[in-house]
Chains A and B, each alone.
Chain A
Amino acid sequence: MAVNELQSTRKPPITQIGAILWLRTNLFSSWINGLLTLASLYLLYISIPPLLDWMFLSANFNFGTVNILGFDIKFSEVMADNDSCGKEAACWPFIYEKIYMFIYGFYPREEVWRPDVFYGLTALFILIVRLVRNYKYKNRVILSMVVTYPIVSYILIAGGFGLLPVVETHQWGGLLLTLIIASVGILISFPIGVVLALGRQSDLRVIKLFSTLFIEFIRAVPLITILFMASFVLPLFLESGTNFDKLLRALIGIALFQAAYFAEVVRGGLQAIPKGQYEAADAVGLSYFQKNALIILPQALKISIPNIVGSSISLFKDTTLVLIIGLMDMLAMVNMTSQDIYWLGRETEGYVFVTIVFWVILYSMSRYSRKLEIRFNTENKD
C-alpha cells in the first residue's frame, strides 16, 4: 500500500484570474454575447450623453436666491421663468417653485410644520428600529412604536381631538399622500393577509372556503376596478347623506387588494415549512395559536421577506392610480402643476422629478430587504 505525502496548497493558474478572465466570462463568453455587449454599449452611448445634457449640462438652474439652513445662496440674479428657460433642456426652477405642491399638496402653508414633524418622526422611527437591533427589550420598543406611531401621525396630519386645527383629507396631497396611502395600505393589509393565508391552510372548511374565495376574487380584478368600486359603489350601500371620506374609501380598497396579495406571498412561505415543524409543535402541546405565532409564522415570514417587500414595492407604485378617483398624490400634482399657465409644457421635468423620488424610496426598500435576508441567514445557516 502506498502512502502519499500531504500536498501543499497552490494559487490557481494566472490565466484563470484577473480582469481579462472577468471580461471573457461575463461579457464575451460567446460570439452572440459579444454582439449583445457591443449593442448595449452603443445604446448607452446614444442615450446617456443627451440625457446628461438635458438634465445637467444645458439645464437651467437659475433659482434666484435660495435660503438654505439660514444661508442665502445666490444661484442667479432673478429666478428663471418658463420663457427664459428654453425648450431644449430641463427647467429646474419649475420644480423649485412647485416643490411645496409636490411634497405637501394643498396642505395649509401655516400648518406645514405638521407634515414636517411627520417626516421627521418617520425618519426617527426607521433610525430607532435600526439602533435597537441588539437591545434586550427590542421587541417591546418596536411594538410600542408600531402602536403609537400611526396614532401620533394621524393626530399630527389630520388634527382634531381639540389638539390641533383640523385639516380635511382633500387638502392632503403630493408625496405626503403617497406615503400615507402606501404605509397605511401596507400596515393594515399585512395582518389581514397573514390571517387569510392561515385561513386558506385551515382544516375548517368554511374558513378555508371564505379565504380562498376572497383571495381569488380580489386577485382576479385590477386595482383600478377595486378603487372605482370603493369610491362609487361602496357609498351606494350606505345610507344616503353619510359623509364617507374619499381617502378612507380608497384606503379600504387598497388594503383589501393588497391583503389578497400578501396572503398568497405568506402562503408560499407557509408551504415551505416542513411538516416536521408542525408535528414537533403539536407534540410538545402548543395550541393552534401558539404553534403559528411561535414556530410557523416566524419561519414562514422570514422566507417570504423578498416577496413581501416586492409586493410592498408594487403597492407603493400602484398608489399612483388613486389620481383616477380624484386624490391628488405626487403624480397627480405633476399633471396639475403643468397646467399652470406660467409653466405650460413642463410636465417632463415633473415626471423626471417624481421618478427620482420614487426610485430613491423604492431602491432603499429593496436594499433593506436584502439586508434583512442576509442578517436572518447568518443566524440560521444551513
Chain B
Amino acid sequence: MEIENNKSNIIEISELNKWYGDFHALKNINMNVKEGEIIVVCGPSGSGKSTLIRCVNFLEKFQEGNIVVSGTELTDDAQKIRKIRSEVAMVFQHFNLFPHLTIVDNLTLAPIWVHNETKEEAREKALKFLERVDIKEQAEKYPNQLSGGQQQRVAIARSLCTSPKIMLFDEPTSALDPEMISEVLDVMVELAKGGITMICVTHEMGFARKMANRIIFMDEGQIVEENDPINFFKNPESDRLQLFLSQILTHEE
C-alpha cells in the first residue's frame, strides 16, 4: 500500500531516550508517522517496541527527546496528556477490559466521561461498533463471559468509540489461543483499509506483509532497520534482522 507523500506527519518522535533505572530501554529513537500510515514494529522480546508505543500516549514517561502527536507536544502537563489520550487509542495484549462493566458499558465509558456525549448517543455508537466487530449480541454480557478473541474485538471496538486519529496496538494477538488470532487480525485489516493511522507491535508477519506501509525492526532499544514490506522480507540488510527473520519465518509457509 502506498501512502501519498503530501500527507503531513501526525506523530513526530525525535531523539527519544528512555531509561528504567540504569537500564537504557530506548536509544535515540527518531521516527515520523504520516496520517493514514500503517506501521508494524517488530523485534525480539525486550527490544523496546512496546515501550516505544507506550511513550506515544505517555503510559511510559521518557527522560530525553520530543514526541509531538497531532501538533501537541507531550509534556508532564496533565491537560495535554488527556487531550492526546483522547485522540490516541490503545489496544493491549491482555485486552484490559473493565470486568465490572458490561460490554456496552465498557464501550460507552470514555465517550460519556471524556467526550461528554449523552448516554443515548454513546450507546447507539457503541452498538454500531460492536456490530462492526461482529459481537453485537454479546452487548449485555460481562467481559469474563467472552472468549479471548471476542474480548480483544471488544477492546478494539472500545478504542474506536472515541473516534481516535491514531490506534496503537501492543501485541494484540500474543495472548490469544491460535484459533482466535485470525478473527482479531480480520478486524485489524478492516480498520487498516479504513484509513486510520496505526502503529502495531506484532509478530504476525502475514499481517505486516499484507497491510503495512512500513515495517520497523527494533533490537536492544534502537531502530535497526526500516523498510517497505517487500524489501523488508526480501532484502534484509542487517545481520540481526536476517537472524530474526530466519527465526520467526522458519515455521511459516
Contacts and interface: CB of A to CB of B under 8 A. Distances in A.
B50 to A, nearest CB: 11
A164 interface: no
B92 A380 contact: no
B86 interface: yes
Interface stretch (A107-115, A233-241, A294-302): A294-302
Interface string A250-293: 00000000000000000000000010110111111111001000
Contacts of B158: 284
A280 B98 contact: yes
A284 B96 contact: no
Interface string B147-163: 00000000000110010
Given A285-B82, A285-B162, A286-B114, A380 B99 contact: yes
- Secondary structure at the B interface, as helix, strand, loop or mixed, is mixed
Interface residue tally on B, bucketed by range: 20 to 34
A284 B109 contact: yes
Nearest to B83: A285
Nearest to A284: B110
B172 to A, nearest CB: 13
Contacts of B52: none
B23 interface: no
Contacts of B144: 380-382
A116 B59 CA distance: 56
Nearest to B144: A382
Interface size class of A (residues with CB under 8 A): 20 to 34
A277 B98 contact: yes
A260 B75 CA distance: 36
Contact of A279 (B59, B99, B114, B159): B59
- Which secondary structure dominates where chain A touches chain B? helix
Contacts of A380: 99-100, 142, 144
A77 interface: no
B96 A280 contact: yes
A379 B159 CA distance: 24
A223 to B, nearest CB: 34
Contacts of B82: 285, 287
Contact of B162 (A274, A284, A382): A284
B176 to A, nearest CB: 15
A119 to B, nearest CB: 35
Nearest to B57: A283
A277 B113 contact: no
B90 interface: yes
Interface centre among B92, B99, B114 (most CB of A within 10 A): B99
Interface string B93-129: 0101111100000000110011000000000000000
11 contacts: A276-B94, A276-B96, A281-B98, A282-B59, A284-B159, A285-B86, A285-B162, A286-B113, A294-B109, A295-B98, A379-B142
The 7 A-B residue pairs with the shortest CB-CB distance, nearest first, are: A280-B96, A284-B110, A285-B85, A276-B96, A285-B86, A283-B90, A285-B114
Interface of B: 57, 59, 78, 82-83, 85-86, 88-90, 92, 94, 96-100, 109-110, 113-114, 142, 144-145, 158-159, 162
